[in-house]
Amino acid sequence: MFNILRRPFEKSTFEAWAKIFDDIAKVAFLGIPVIIYGEYPVEFKLFNIVILIVGIYIFILGGRVCRRTLELNAHKREE
């Protein structure tokens, strides 16, 4: 119960992680206008926007991996 890294993983654990990844990506996306309209130099803004875009991509990919793993486990159980 207390060891969340023990196999086999529960379905709800993968769903929760996928949702967390999606929420973090949304927050990073909402942070882009804050950086654009900030009072920092253009180079600093561009660097931070690129970092946020890379982070958004990574977190969306993490959510997809969790959901795909969940689907693969469901198909294996059906067989």
Model confidence over 3-21: pLDDT tens digits? Answer: 666 666 678 888 999 999 9
Residue type, 56: I
Which of 9, 4, 1 minimizes the C-alpha distance to 74? Answer: 9
pTM: 0.80
- CA pair distance 30, 25, nearest whole angstrom: 9
pLDDT of residue 27: 97
Cα distance between residue 54 and residue 56, in whole Å: 5
Q: Write the pLDDT tens digit of every residue in 12-67.
A: 888 999 999 999 999 999 999 999 999 999 999 999 999 999 999 999 999 999 99
Residues 22, 16: Cα–Cα separation, whole Å: 10
Q: How far apart are CA 59 and CA 21, in angstroms?
A: 5
Domain segments of the chain: what residues? 11-78
